[in-house]
């Protein structure tokens, strides 16, 4: 079983390949996927062999956006308790590579690690 939920990560030569893996849902984004992608990207950044990271989707679509079933469960009274909010703050990883300037503050906390 993969150590990542809703995605797979492998290194092919010098390329880290992250594949969103919910093809039956067009790879709709979940809280589990958010936690896993952070973990996979952090592993790629720390791997000296990886020079490029490619993010792709399994099946016929890259990512349909947020999983609508998950969005249906959001209640206005517990906004900060929703799964995506928890996934954002549960774990922190070191994404610094020293290969260029740190641009993450310019993209906010949520997805700054992608850059």
Higher per-residue pLDDT: 23 or 79:
23
**Strand-by-strand arrangement of the 7-12 sheet:** 7-12, 15-20, 52-57
What is the residue-averaged pLDDT of the chain? 81
Q: What is the largest CA-CA distance in the chain?
A: 48
pLDDT tens, residue by residue, 81-110: 666 566 555 566 666 666 667 666 665 566
Percent of the chain with pLDDT over 90: 43
Asked whether residue 59 carries a pLDDT value surpassing 80, the answer given is yes
Domains along the chain with CATH numbers:
7-114 (3.90.226.10)
Given pLDDT bands bounded at 50, 70 and 90, which one contains residue 69?
Answer: confident
With tokens 């062999």, the residue in question is 49
Distance CA 86, CA 39 (A): 15
pLDDT tens, residue by residue, 7-51: 999 999 999 999 999 999 999 999 889 889 989 998 998 999 999
Within 1-115, strands assigned E span 7-12, 15-20, 52-57
- Give the mean pLDDT of 75-82: 63
- Give the mean pLDDT of 56-83: 78
Full 3-state SS string of 79-104: HHHCHHHHHHHHCCCCCCCCCCCCCH
């Amino acid at each position: 079983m993969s150590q990542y939920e809703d995605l797979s990560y492998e290194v092919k030569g010098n390329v880290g390949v992250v594949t969103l893996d919910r093809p039956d849902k067009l790879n709709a984004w979940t809280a589990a996927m958010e936690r896993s992608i952070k973990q996979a990207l952090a592993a790629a950044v720390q791997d000296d062999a990886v020079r490029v990271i490619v993010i792709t989707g399994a099946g016929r679509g890259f990512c349909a956006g947020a999983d609508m079933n998950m969005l249906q469960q959001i209640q206005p009274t517990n906004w900060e308790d929703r799964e995506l909010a928890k996934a954002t703050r549960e774990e922190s990883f070191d994404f610094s590579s020293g290969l260029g300037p740190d641009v993450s503050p310019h993209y906010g906390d949520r997805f700054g690690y992608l850059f």
